[in-house]
Each structure stands twice: as C-alpha cells, then as structure tokens.
C-alpha cells in the first residue's frame, strides 16, 4: 500500500501512476484534466510534443486517460479534453470559455484558442433545472504562474465541484487546482500525480490555500 505524499483533513494526495495507485477509485465523482497532447511552449505559438515539453508525462496519449476512465466505471465525471484528441465516451459536452487573462494563445488562423471542452462521463442523476452548456469564469491568471501548462483557474474548478456531491477524485492532479478547489469548499478529495515535482507544488498550494484569497491557478 502506497503512503500518501500529502494528507490533511480533506485532501489526500498520492505520488505515482493512477493505474497502479487505486485509492482514488473509492471516490464518488471524477473531476480531472488529463494530459491530452496540446501542451504549448511558454512564449511561443508552437505546440510541444511529449519530448520537447519535459513538464508533462504521457502528454499526447489518451490511453492512460481511457484506462483510468474504464477503472472508474459508470460513476459521473468531468473530464477536460481537446478538439485534437480522441473524445472519451460521454453523455454531454460542456464548453469552458476562458477569461482573457487565462493564458489564451493564438493560432495561425488569427483566432484565439479561448475555449476548452469538458466531457461529462459516466452516469449522471437527472436534473430538473436547465443551464447553459457554456461555462464562463472571472479571473484566472496564466497557468504558468503555478508551473503547469494545463493549470486551471480555481473559480472554474469550484464551479464544477459544486455541481457534484460526495468525494472528488483527480487521478491526473497536475498543479492541484481540483484539490485546492475542493478544499476551499470543504469537500473531501483524493488526487494522484505521477510527477513528484508537481506533487511538491500541490502540497505547497494546499498548505497555503487558507491564506490564499486570490484564487488563481
């Protein structure tokens, strides 16, 4: 049994491969942003592959994501994705419209790449109320400020967490925004991150989040 890398009253974080460390499978809902092969080099508009972008493991390959989803079964989940990567099985696709200051990059077509996909996977309970499938959040400074090219704004992750009940799982914890968001809302969360450097970053964020009122990712 693997000992947690970090643990407090609400959050447990493991350093390792989510296909080997399976404690997260006990959670009720998935909120995760797996590597999906569109890491962008800071200061350029060139896409980085998994070799050039040393900060992401398994980037550009959805096999790990798909295996993790299979393990989680039909429990509900929010899974970030990309237009350029194969889509997972899903019941609904949401759109996150990025705030202007969220590190939006351009493309060769001259249009900003200012949206991301959020797949609703598994079986979700029926809702009586209707809401837009486009999610917009205020704030959200460039994700590189916390050292991870796929980092997400805390307000966005808080909104997703509030749409769920029970314990949150994030098997691709990255910079830890899901775990921090859950903690700020008093929700239990279990995370796994394969890169120890990011585990260290997450542990620092969780330790300091009680003093952090800027809610950045």
**For the chain, which residues make up each domain, given as ranges?**
6-211
- Residue 96: strand, helix, or coil: strand
- Per-residue pLDDT tens digits for 7-44: 999 999 999 999 999 999 999 999 999 986 534 333 33
Burial class (CB in 10 A: 0-12, 13-18, 19+), 52: exposed
Q: Comparing 215 with 160, which gets the higher pLDDT?
A: 160
Tell me whether strands 189-193 and 168-170 are parallel, antiparallel or unpaired. parallel
- Per-residue pLDDT tens digits for 118-163: 999 999 988 888 889 999 986 555 444 555 556 789 999 999 999 9
Q: Look up the CATH number of domain 6-211.
A: 3.40.50.150
Token pair 């029926």: residue: 126
Of 13, 43, 37, whose CA–CA distance to 27 is shortest? 13
């Amino acid at each position: 049994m693997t000992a947690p890398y970090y643990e407090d009253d609400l959050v447990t974080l493991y350093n390792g491969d989510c296909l080997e460390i399976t404690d997260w499978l006990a959670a009720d809902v998935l909120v995760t942003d797996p590597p999906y092969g569109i890491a962008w080099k800071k200061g350029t508009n060139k896409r980085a592959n998994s070799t050039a972008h040393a900060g992401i493991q398994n980037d550009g390959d959805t096999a790990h994501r798909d295996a993790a989803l299979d393990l989680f079964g039909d429990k509900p989940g929010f899974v970030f994705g990309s237009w350029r990567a194969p889509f997972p099985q899903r019941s609904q696709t949401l759109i996150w419209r990025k705030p202007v200051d969220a590190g939006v990059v351009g493309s060769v077509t001259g249009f900003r790449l200012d949206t991301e996909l959020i797949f609703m996977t598994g079986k979700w309970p029926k809702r009586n109320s209707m809401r837009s499938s486009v999610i917009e959040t205020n704030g959200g400074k460039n994700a590189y400020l916390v050292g991870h090219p796929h980092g997400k704004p805390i307000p966005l992750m808080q909104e997703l967490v509030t749409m769920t009940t029970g314990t949150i799982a994030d098997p691709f914890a990255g910079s830890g925004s899901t775990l921090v968001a859950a903690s700020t809302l008093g929700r239990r969360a279990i995370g796994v991150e394969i890169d120890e450097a990011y585990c260290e970053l997450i542990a620092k964020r969780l330790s300091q989040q009680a003093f952090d009122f800027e809610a950045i990712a």
